Structure 1
Amino acid sequence: MFLLGVGDDGNGRAIVSYGNPDTSKNVSAYVPGLATALDGDFADGTVRRALQTAKGAYKYNHSTAFIVWLGYDAPGFTEVGSTADADKGAPAYRSFMEGIQATNEKENPHITAIGHSYGSLVVGTAAREHGGIPGVDDIVLLGSPGTGAQSASELNVGDGHVFAASAGNDPVSWLPARSGLLGPVPAVLSNMDGDRWFGKDPVSDGFGATRIESGDGPLPMWLSGEGPTPAHSGYFDPDRNPSAANNMAKIVAGRSDLVTTEEGR
């Protein structure tokens, strides 16, 4: 376990890696979402997700490092509908990934950018800049309310290198477009068109990503007793969502050829 960065700016900064990102062939950096801060929940939950994925990837390739990147102020519940925090965080993430590429000792490292929840908007915003995210070969979007893009091609990693997962019981990935929620277009019609709060649904047929198998995930709290949105937080957990966790481990380890997929919606 490596502590790559820590600070008290804003809601706190922390960059933690399982595996050495300078010497590993495969390096991934995961951006967390809503309400993530440098606190007990970060230590108990967010960092655990990194460990779970690192363990899964290790089965496919031992030369793997998995990073959780809290290098920005994730929005709270009152700010999560705005792109402001993603706009601020994206340049910092691009800079960090450029550093990962520069310091890695391998001739051609395999680098993956992963965004969960609002973090997928940070990754999408960074990827849509000219030239994409430095060094990144694959992008994984988990429980995404949209990336700011209308198609996977806007993320600058080439065909077949954008992967998305959306569990059936994850309410965040079903957030309708703003017009569907606030305007005259009913939310159900907005969902049918594949529009989300921050652009096209990454698991829709029209977006053009590879939808990795992630099943339905756990039921909501009042039915499962596992918290308010366990399907949204369960993508990394091999017990809660084994298909999503295993597929993500394969991509992180450079074995995306082994992923199982499901149809877009």
Structure 2
Amino acid sequence: MATDEADGQPVSTITWLGYDAPQDIVKDSPFRHYADDGAPAFNRFLDGLEASHTGETPPHRTVIGHSYGTTLVGAAADHGTLNADDVITAGSPGVTVPKAEQLDVPKGHVWNEEADGDVVPDIGRFGHGGTDWDGPWTVPSDERFGAKQMTTDTKGHSGYWDEGSDSLLNQALVVAGHGDDAELKEPTPTWKYTR
């Protein structure tokens, strides 16, 4: 990330792999227990980052989940306190809850990316989508979920971090605390029948 996006401040990233993730897309990934079992460890990890912070200013912590990792993030928020300022989901099959406000970050700080040709949100919703009075099997790509939908210029399930892509730039802007500069998709118009 260029230093101008981060206002000249340092940015660090951590890849957290501290849970037993599904290994088989057909036999394992449809089941939520992997996320439920890993959620307490993820919450402890985020709490540890908070406890170990020694800087004079508070950090801006963004949690990014991809694919089943978004289900883990949702389970962590559902099981405890998600110690983060922003959540970004990419290619999400569902986060176990039906509304962005249930992800335990400030209102307006849940972001989503779904690339053209990524079938995971459409298929995964039946195992990991949240359900409430507004509808069943809700995933972050659905308008009723309430996430800010960032534009993507990548294709399929694995391109969200392609170098030089708008998909990556939008994530970087959120990480650097400049989510207001991220490019959002135009809302899809909804039609209602009136007599």
TM-score bracket relative to the smaller structure: 0.7 to 0.9
Q: 2:143 aligns with which of 205, 221, 225?
A: 205
SS of 1:88 mapped into structure 2 = helix
Give yes or no for contact 1:204–1:264 (8 Å, CA) kept in 2: no
Q: CA deviation at 1:76?
A: 1.7
Identify if the C-alpha distance between structure 1 residues 94 and 57 changes in structure 2 by more than 3 Å, giving closer, same or farther. Answer: farther
Partner amino acid for 1:248? Q
Q: CA deviation at 1:177?
A: 4.3
Name the residue aligned to 1:99. Answer: 48
Higher strand proportion (structure 1 or 2): 1
1:155 and 2:119 correspond = no
TM-score using structure 2 length: 0.83
Q: CA deviation at 1:140?
A: 0.5
Name the residue aligned to 2:177. Answer: 254
Runs of 4+ in 1 over 2 A off after TM superposition: 56-59, 176-179
1:1-265 → structure 2 map (5 Å cutoff): 56=1, 58-61=3-6, 62-77=9-24, 78-106=27-55, 107-130=57-80, 132-134=81-83, 136-175=84-123, 177-178=125-126, 199-215=137-153, 217-218=154-155, 231-239=156-164, 242-263=165-186
Gaps of at least 5 residues in structure 1 are 1-55, 180-192, 219-230
Deviations 1:116-170 (A, max 9, x none): 000000001101234x312x11001010000001000111112110001000211
Gaps of at least 5 residues in structure 2 are 128-133, 189-195
How many percent of aligned residue pairs carry the same amino acid?
A: 36
1:264, 1:75 → 2: CA distance?
33
1:263, 1:121 → 2: CA distance?
25
The total of aligned residue pairs comes to 177
Give yes or no for contact 1:71–1:93 (8 Å, CA) kept in 2: yes
